[in-house]
Amino acid sequence: MKLVQKDLERAIKLLPLSVQSTMICYGTVVAGGFLRSVVTRERIKDIDLFSITREKALEAAKNLNTLNTKVGENKISSSKNAHSLKGVEGNFVQFIHRWTYYNPEALLESFD
C-alpha cells in the first residue's frame, strides 16, 4: 500500500487536534491500522502512536490525558503493550511502548 498526498491530507484532517499537538510536542509517530483505514476509507478503530522510548510514550499519554480531561482526572489505562485513552475527541488512542523506534524509518520497516 502506498500513501499518496490526498491520503496524507485526509489522515491529518482525521487526527484530533489534541493528538496532533501531542505528536508534535513528544515526537510520536502514527502508524498501523489508522493509516490503513484512512486509505481504504474503513471505520477507524484506534490511533496507534509510537515513541522513541517507553518514557516518552508515558509522557505523551499524560499530556493527551491533560488535554482531554478535567483537572486531576486520569483516563489512562496501561498494559504490557501500551498506554491507552478512550474518548479522545471520540477516538481510542494508544501510545505503544512495547516496541519503540529510534527513527520513523525503523518503525516503518518493522511493519509487514
Grid cell at residue 66: 491533560
End-to-end C-alpha distance for the chain, whole angstroms: 11
Among 67, 108, 107, 111, which residue's Cα sits nearest to residue 85?
67
**Prediction pTM value:** 0.86
Express each pLDDT in 13-50 by its tens digit.
Answer: 999 999 999 999 999 999 888 989 999 999 999 999 99
